[in-house]
Structure 1
Amino acid sequence: MLDGCTPWPEELVRQYIRQGYWIAKSLADLLEEQARAFAERVFVADGDRKLTFGEVNRLSDLVAFHLLDRGFKPRDIVLLQFPNIWEFIVVFFALQKIGVIPVMCLPPHRHSELTSFARLTGAKGYFFSPRFRNFDYLAMAREIQSAVPTMEYLVAAGDSAETGVSYLGPWLEQSVQPRKLAASLAPYRPDPFDVAFLHLSGGTTGVPKLIPRTHADYICNARACARVLGWDQNTVFVMAIPAAHNFSLGAPGMVAVLTAGGSVALSPSTEPEAVFAVIERQKGTFLPVSPALLIMLLNSPHQNKYDLSSLRVVCAGGQKMLPELVDRTWATWSFATPGHAFGMAEGLTNLTRPGDPREVIRETQGRPVSPADEIQIVDEDGREVPLGAVGELITRGPYTIRGYYHAEEHNRIAFTAEGFYRTGDMVRLHPSGNLVVEGRKKDMINRGGEKISAEEVENLMLGHESIHMAAVVAMPDPVMGERGCAYVIPKPGRTLTLEELTSFLLEKKIAKFKLPERLELVESFPLTGVGKVSKKTLREQIAAKLKT
């Protein structure tokens, strides 16, 4: 296994293989298998461009061929940061063809996060779209390359002639004999039980930690999702959430669609009209959303301009969907069933099923997708709580990691001696056998499904010349669920505005979704019995203030 990763115990490896949860097949093998079976069927739709299974396989072969020519080799690590464009899927599988391991970066990530990922992994390359939503990723790419000595290659979508940048366009236009491609790529096919890519954690202690997902475990995860959802060749997965998110990628996203022989319809943004247009044009059947995005869609006055009747499931993930929102979804789109996806990039995926009783869909966040998923609900001492009581969810199984990448110290905290992952989610067991999420144990803000580390933002804030002490907490919000509120004790004689604070943080090149959206200037912080800042009290104070 890749250096810095924790393997599953040998007895579990043998068990998962014997029971059929793990198969000796890489993600590249899976694509090639489906390309043979469905060569002329559409796999990816991106605006006017449609790519069949066969075309995605051929184009990914071409990109892989040129990556080898540039000097990439198996187990090299790269940063992959594309918006929802067809090139994301082609490049993702090209990397899988030759065992190059991508870090699955999100479009909002900026210099601070990307440089951290690159330094931790010794990243050899950065794959990006030169400009997206008026941001110059090319300029940022050069900054990152200057800051990270291992960053040899920049690879961009499109067709241009910038010095020091390889563009995908010319590669994809070249003609290479299939036999030559196959012969060139064959020696580099990765081990199915090795790491395929590195996901990002929600991150509670600064920059997100990296999650090593293997070919075998991720295919297991994807197949289980497709099976319990009843997906088949008629499934059309509408990808509006960023493609690199676990929800979009395979749990139950694109890789699960691949296992079922269905198709992916890419939305260029989460703007309601863009999403509605994709659903109408591509006859989307499955729409993954965050609750915040779902509220935007339901509130949009434009929905009646589009035919959305092809939808069969609207599935909310990243954050708990309240029963009132479930009811509203049913009332507005009677042709679709609301659903929940409660999971984590570390592994465990819980889904409600389309055939679950209505009250179960309203009140719960699903149940594990695999019979081999092991879950326990425990108290602070690690003892299982009584049936129906609230406790922390811990889990292990054939697609839940055994440790973060190069994080030995944190792994001792995040995993039990028996290999159970401590999720930090506080849950209880519903009489139906499904899980009900009651909150988070960790100090994290969940802004519309995007996880924000309070500590990361606080550490940056303390660099401001006017700030003596800082604490960032979640404040309730009817649309996003939570937003960040910054409490600040100013230095003597100083003051601060929210605009000044956000401008300062943007200079630190962090993602915009992490910015505090309210500022409270105070003279002191409430303290716990052991002298620590009582964030519980601060959360209660801001919640009460918002009600008045």
Structure 2
Amino acid sequence: MRDWKALLTQFDPEAAARYREAGWWRDRLLVEYVEDVAAEAADRTAVIDARGEITYGELGDQAEALASGLTRLGVTPGAVVSAQLPNWHEAVVLAVACSQLGAVLNTISPIFRERDIATMLRLAEPTVLIVPDAFNGFDHAAAVLRVLPALARTPSVAVIGAAPEGTVRWTDLLAGPAVDLPARPHPDDVAQLAFTSGTTGEPKGVLHTHNTLIASASSYDERYEIGPEDVIHMASTVGHQTGILFGITCPIVAGSAAVLQQSWNPVQFVELVEKHRISLTNGAIPFLTDTLHADNLDGQDMSSLRVFSCIGAGLPQALAEEAGRRLPTTKLVGGWGMTETGLAVTNLLTDTLETVCTVDGRPVPGAELRILDEMFVEDLPAGSEGHLVVRGPQRHLGFLQPGLSQANFLEGDWYVTGDRGYLTEAGDFVMTTRSKDIIVRGGENIPVAEVENLLLAHPSVAMVAVVAVPDERLGEKACACVRLEPGASFDFAGMEAWLRDHQLTKQFWPEYLKVLEGFPTTPSGKIQKFVLRDRMVSEVTAS
């Protein structure tokens, strides 16, 4: 078993003491929050999925039974339990059971197939792997059995549904005899191994503790005043950090109900809002775009939806204004975050629509941001773009790959995010671009996020990504890849006219335009730019 402590980048002792004193590190486990609600209101709904719902009392009982089942399979404190599950209540039961056992939870998105699964399992070295028999037409059980011979360490495989020979049925894990469980983990022990979702290629293994995960969830709950009366919707996969934090941890910490949508469908989402009186949802900008275009939006009661959180990119003004008209009782907010830092920046409920569209937000309670110069030494003044570094109680403690920590941490607990932006005089953060997405054209940095947001505001454009393609004279040129609205048209001349009319510096105009049917995306809906970039390089070179 790994020595997890050897992989951690420890917080400065004074900072750790400050986090505890402020209540950001609560020294509590996820299972304890479930037990608190179950003791007071066992019949309160905990999770709703496509197959039914369970109460907090049932969640606690099933997690306790699963903890015994995992122990019988050899799971001990510090052992990894990997899971490739859809947005089903079993994923929540597993998260609670792992927190009770001190097992390290490693979730994998259901969209991944054998090659990616094998890579993650080789890195994680789980004692147990949990999968559905099949989901969305794919036989997950058969796939993992094909992967196992390539692994140095073979995990036990538990299957939800029909279990092939050599695997264990999920129901048997829950129905088997109870065993003595180990002492509960310390809240500073590693609770999660989360692989980055693949925007730069090979995944990094991010390590979070019980304290850092709950700090991230509780800061979101505090910012948006989430309580037991709320119903939180999640369509991003629980195989990704967005789903883990905002579909599992946030609702449990707040004592509220979670509605897990197993596959994103805007028409179904609109129906779920009315049926379950959903009050908050969190997802990428395409989720909002799809919702506004849902055929049944005008015919459903959306009045319960008080917060629509769009994380990951600046909100285009035109889209936000449309949301204001179509969802008049819903507060639209944005934010910035990553697997390593949690959701570190969000808009406030009091922010105006103009503010939401122009800044990513304020640091959440406990989080701190700095903008550093190119040498990562000097702080830059307000309004000056530089490298974003972050620290706080929500920040991860290290990587599975030891060399990554040394390369990505600065003295004083500061994490180098790889993103660029600036702070306003008021203390709001504005992300300008990700460092890996910068396009350098003839020595001039093209502000990718600005170009993308401007193109996305065009009425014909539904989705956009600007990527670099090589150029012999200038080094790089920009290629705009767009997906159009149904029935719309958009050509190179129209793009140039739009950019000219909006007074974008001509050196920032893309030299290429590609109209696509769809984009390669990560499990959370973000565009995989490294895949798109490789494709555009091939197409532009061949043309």
Alignment correspondent of 1:421 = 415
2:149 is the alignment partner of 1:132: no
Q: Distance in 2 between matches of 1:522 and 1:63?
A: 50
Deviations 1:309-337 (A, max 9, x none): 21111110133322222111111111111
What SS class does the counterpart of residue 97 from structure 1 fall into? helix
Alignment of 1:394 onto 2:400: no
The corresponding residue for 2:62 is 59
The one-letter code sitting in structure 1 at the alignment partner of 2:264 is: T
1:489 matched residue in structure 2: none
CA contact (8 A) 1:5 1:406 kept: no
Partner of 1:318: 312
Three-state SS of the structure 1 residue aligned to 2:399 is coil
| SS of residue in 1 equivalent to 2:418 | strand
Matches within 5 A, 1:35-434: 35-47=38-50, 49-158=52-161, 160-172=162-174, 174=175, 181=178, 184-185=180-181, 187-203=182-198, 205-250=200-245, 252-348=246-342, 349-370=344-365, 372-382=366-376, 383-408=378-403, 410-434=404-428
Structure-1 separation of matches of 2:541 and 2:269: 46
Q: CA deviation at 1:119?
A: 1.6
Question: Does 107-116 or 138-147 show the bigger shift?
Answer: 107-116
- How big is the shift at 1:478? 5.5
CA spacing shift, 1:8–1:296, aligned 2, 3 Å: same
User: CA contact under 8 A between 1:2 and 1:75: conserved in structure 2?
Assistant: no
Deviation by residue 1:405-444 (Cα, 9 ceiling, x = unmatched): 2232x22221113331111111122344221111110249
Shift of 1:38: 2.8
1:37 counterpart letter in structure 2: E
Rounded to whole Å, the distance in 1 between the matches of 2:80 and 2:5 is 10
Flag the 1:205–1:231 CA change in 2: closer, same or farther, 3 A: closer
Q: What letter is aligned with 2:322?
A: R
Question: Is the contact made by 1:377 and 1:385 (CA closer than 8 Å) also made in structure 2?
Answer: yes
Whole-angstrom CA distance in 1 between matches of 2:384 and 2:359: 14
Specify whether residues 127 and 522 from structure 1 end up closer, same or farther in structure 2 by C-alpha distance, changes over 3 A only.
Answer: closer
CA distance in 1, matches of 2:331, 2:50: 26
Post-superposition Cα deviations, 1:6-40, rounded to whole Å, max 9, x if no partner, equal: 22233332332233221221222222223223311
- Deviation of 1:355 (Å): 2.1
- TM-score, normalization: structure 1? 0.79
CA distance, structure 2, for counterparts of residue 512 and residue 435 of structure 1: 22
**RMSD of aligned residue pairs (Cα, Å):** 3.3
Alignment partners' CA distance in 1, 2:351 and 2:284: 20
Q: Structure 2 regions of 5+ residues with no counterpart? A: 439-447, 457-462, 469-475, 486-513, 521-525
Distance 2:305 2:277 in 1: 7
Note closer, same or farther for the CA distance 1:515–1:441 as it changes in structure 2 (3 Å cut): closer
Find the aligned partners of 1:143 and 1:319 in 2 and give their Cα distance. 38
* Contact 2:371 2:386 survives alignment (8 Å): yes
Aligned residue number for residue 491 of structure 2: none
Contact 1:204–1:442 (CA under 8 A) maintained in structure 2: no
Shift of residue 152, structure 1, vs aligned partner? 2.5
Structure 1 stretch 395-404 or stretch 77-86: which is displaced more? Answer: 395-404
Is the alpha carbon distance of 1:69 and 1:361 closer, same or farther for their aligned partners in structure 2, counting shifts above 3 Å? same
Shift of 1:64: 1.1
Alpha-carbon displacement from aligned partner over 1:248-286 (angstroms, at most 9, x marks no partner): 322x44312212111101112111122122212111110
Identity across aligned pairs (percent)?
24
Shift of residue 196, structure 1, vs aligned partner: 0.6
Of the candidates 477, 483, 495, which is equivalent to residue 482 of structure 2?
A: 477
Secondary structure of 2:419's counterpart equals: strand
SS of residue matched to 1:418:
coil
Q: Is the 1:35–1:57 Cα contact (8 Å) retained in structure 2?
A: yes
2-structure distance, mates of 1:150, 1:117: 12
Cα distance in 2 for residues equivalent to 1:48 and 1:64: 23
User: 2:505: which partner in 1?
Assistant: none
* Whole-angstrom distance in 1 between the partners of 2:328 and 2:260: 24
Counterpart secondary structure, 1:294: helix
How far apart are the structure 1 equivalents of 2:540 and 2:43? 67
Secondary structure at 1:343 match in 2: strand
In 1, the alpha carbon distance for the partners of 2:483 and 2:380 equals: 32
CA gap 1:352/1:523 in 2 versus in 1, 3 angstroms: closer
Residue identity opposite 1:95 in structure 2: C
C-alpha separation in 2, matches of 1:522 and 1:242 = 32
CA distance in 1, matches of 2:536, 2:348: 41
In 1, Cα distance between the equivalents of 2:74 and 2:197? Answer: 33
| CA-CA distance at 1:475 after TM superposition | 3.8
The answer as to whether partners of 2:312 and 2:336 remain within 8 angstroms in 1 is yes
CA contact (8 A) 2:347 2:361 kept: yes
Q: Which one is further off, 435-444 or 70-79?
A: 435-444
Q: Give me the whole-angstrom Cα distance separating, in 2, the residues matched to 1:523 and 1:363.
A: 33
Deviations 1:224-250 (A, max 9, x none): 110111111111111111123322322
* Alpha-carbon separation, structure 2, partners of 1:146 and 1:472: 45
The counterpart of 1:9, out of the listed 12, 32, 46, is: 12
Q: Which residue of 2 aligns with 1:538?
A: none
Verify the 8 A CA contact 1:347 1:400 in the aligned structure 2. Answer: yes
Contact 1:376 1:384 in 2 (8 A): yes
Once the two structures are TM-superposed, the CA of residue 156 in structure 1 deviates from its matched residue by: 1.4
Cα offsets for 1:344-399 (capped at 9, x unmatched): 111152111222233222221111111x3221011212221121111121011112
Change (3 A) 1:150 1:268: same
Report the TM-score, using the length of structure 2 for normalisation. 0.79
1:420-459 correspondence to structure 2 within 5 Å: 420-443=414-437
Structure 1 pair 115–188 and aligned structure 2 pair: CA distance change class (3 A)? farther
